[in-house]
Amino acid sequence: MSDQPTFTPRDRSWHPPALTPQYKSSVLRSPNQRLLSLDTTLSEMTGPRFGHDLIGPLDNDLIRNYAQTGDAIGQRIIVYGRVLDEDARPVPNVLLEFWQANAGGRYRHRNEGYVAALDPNFGGCGRTVTGADGGYRFRTIKPGAYPWPNGPNDWRPAHIHFSVFGYAFAQRLVTQMYFEGDPMIWQCPIVSAIPDRAAIEQLVAALDRDNTLPMDALAYRFDIVLRGRHSTLFENRLEGN
Amino acid sequence: MTRPNTLEETPSQTAGPYVHIGLTPNWCDIEGVYPEDLGRTMVDAETAGERIIVSGRIFDGSGVPLKDALIEIWQADANGLYNSPLEKRGEADPHFTGWGRQATDGTTGEYRFETIKPGRVPCRDGRLMAPHISFWIVARGINLGLHTRMYFADEDAANGECPVLSGIGSKARAATLIASRGEVDGAATYTFDIHLQGDGETIFFDV
Ligand SMILES: [Fe+2]
């Protein structure tokens, strides 16, 4: 069984630590004890897979997938990129899910209290499965910034939430994508939970004029990196699928 | 730490309080986008194995249950096989997905999975682990998803042999991973409460 693949441990200086007091919700929700290191087993090295047949034709179009009377309101954008592993290999056929506020910064959720208006044509969720080159793409509107209860006057920068599956349960990741040039990125207590500026910059999608749809939508590029595997034998096995 | 890889993993950010919009939209009244919330159903009429319900709550450091958390579970089928393309030991039960996703209740904080009791899976050296279910928890205030495992109180012998469970130095801490068995309306029900902090803080793993 020694040919079972494994991962290098997560670089916990790159991720935000559990306790980040400036983000108040973390104070009572962060484990105090150290994580117990686990020599990964099949339980962590396998994971659910979702086929392209799961995905409906409008699932990657947030402008239309909840439309009742017309397109969602807001600045039309394309978000695209690739899912790679830490060895820069594409990760094909994995599920990405995303969710966001509308153009005014309002979420469609029963616990949402912000006064900004709901858009009847915007639900705020989408999903897609990566292609053979690890690529993905979806269409949406640029979400608005919004205020949130934390400090006396905290605002979130415009962002899109992402959920990413790899091949293994140990690769499971949720994160948030920000937009190039937004000064509010650098004022946010959730963003600053990440200690390293270079790590934060990994979450900032670049405006990509080359992929803009003229007279229609701006494009932002956001590449996602999942944990890599360590076993050459494993590679051969993967290709056997 | 030596990092042989060429890229850094994308850093995590909290799933936030509105995680349901993305991951269980029907649950939060965003209907008509997806036919059903993913991971809602793990079993069908022909799934092999003992039917069980796994439920519980997640408590914060002040003892309040989280009403805005999301849990995913991953487990082997009744024969100890994973329904995954990376499972090379045999064909898992096609009637069992092995993967579930549930939000904690907005009023009570309770979560609930209808699943089956998993079989035993070997660890890297071939020794058998005790039956267990892997948990992954995200919520507002959790900066990086938390991994833990649930074991079964009625599996004393297997639990004693499990290299992971028996390798935990503190018996009191190991006990935080063991779900008690009961019966509710004739259904075998395991209760697994998770404590993020404080007395009885659940063990979380660096997987
Ligand atoms: Fe958000």
Residues of A recognised as catalytic: 107, 146, 156, 159, 161
Distance CA B72, CA B101 (A): 4
> Is ipTM > 0.90 here?
yes
User: Is A37 part of any domain?
Assistant: no
Beta-carbon separation of B87 and A42 below 8 A: yes
User: Is B36 part of any domain?
Assistant: yes
Query: Which candidate, A48, A44, A164, A161, places its Cα nearest to that of A95?
Result: A164
User: Is A126 part of any domain?
Assistant: yes
Number of domains in chain A: 1
Say whether residue B155 is in contact with chain A using an 8 A CB cutoff: no
Per-residue pLDDT tens digits for B142-187: 999 999 999 999 999 999 999 999 999 999 999 999 999 999 888 9
User: Is B7 part of any domain?
Assistant: no
Q: How many Å lie between the centroid of ligand 1 and the Cα of residue A100?
A: 6
Number of domains in chain B: 1
User: Is A19 part of any domain?
Assistant: no
Hey, what are B116's tokens? 């089956």
pLDDT value at position B139? 98
Q: Which domain holds residue B25?
A: 19-195
Q: List CB contacts (< 8 A) between B8 and chain A.
A: 11, 14, 86, 198-199, 202, 225
B50: domain CATH number is 2.60.130.10
Beta-carbon separation of B98 and A36 below 8 A: no
User: Is B4 part of any domain?
Assistant: no
pLDDT value at position B3? 54
Beta-carbon separation of B18 and A97 below 8 A: no
Q: Which domain holds residue A158?
A: 43-225
Length of chain B: 207
pLDDT value at position A4? 66
> Which of B73, B143, B196 best tests the A interface by mutation, with the highest count of A CBs <10 A?
B143
**Is A133 in contact with A92 (CB distance < 8 Å)?**
yes
User: Is A26 part of any domain?
Assistant: no
Per-residue pLDDT tens digits for B88-121: 999 999 999 999 999 999 999 999 999 999 999 9
Per-residue pLDDT tens digits for A41-64: 999 999 999 999 999 999 999 999
User: Is A97 part of any domain?
Assistant: yes
Q: How many Å lie between the centroid of ligand 1 and the Cα of residue A30?
A: 19
Q: List CB contacts (< 8 A) between B142 and chain A.
A: 18, 26, 29-30
User: Is B9 part of any domain?
Assistant: no
Q: How many Å lie between the centroid of ligand 1 and the Cα of residue B116?
A: 35
**Is B118 in contact with B76 (CB distance < 8 Å)?**
yes
In whole angstroms, what separates CA A5 from the centre of its chain? 25
User: Is B12 part of any domain?
Assistant: no
User: Is B119 part of any domain?
Assistant: yes
pTM score, two decimals? 0.96
User: Is A105 part of any domain?
Assistant: yes
How far separated are the first and last CA of chain B, in Å rounded? 16
The minimal CB distance from A228 to the residues B5, B75, B99 is found for B5
Q: Would you say residue A236 has pLDDT above 50?
A: no
Band of residue B205 on the pLDDT scale cut at 50, 70, 90: very high
pLDDT value at position A176? 98
Query: Which candidate, A6, A4, A2, A10, places its Cα nearest to that of A226?
Result: A10
Q: List CB contacts (< 8 A) between A66 and chain B.
A: 30, 32-33
Per-residue pLDDT tens digits for A190-203: 999 999 999 999 99
User: Is B98 part of any domain?
Assistant: yes
Band of residue B54 on the pLDDT scale cut at 50, 70, 90: very high
Angle at B104 between CA B102 and CA B110, to 5 degrees: 115
A196: domain CATH number is 2.60.130.10
Q: Would you say residue A1 has pLDDT above 90?
A: no
Q: List CB contacts (< 8 A) between B146 and chain A.
A: 31
HEC secondary structure over A146-159: EEECCCCCEEECCE
User: Is B204 part of any domain?
Assistant: no
**Which of B89-117 are b and which e, b meaning 16 or more Cβ less than 10 Å from the residue's Cβ?**
eeebbebbbbbbbbbbeeeebbbebbbbb
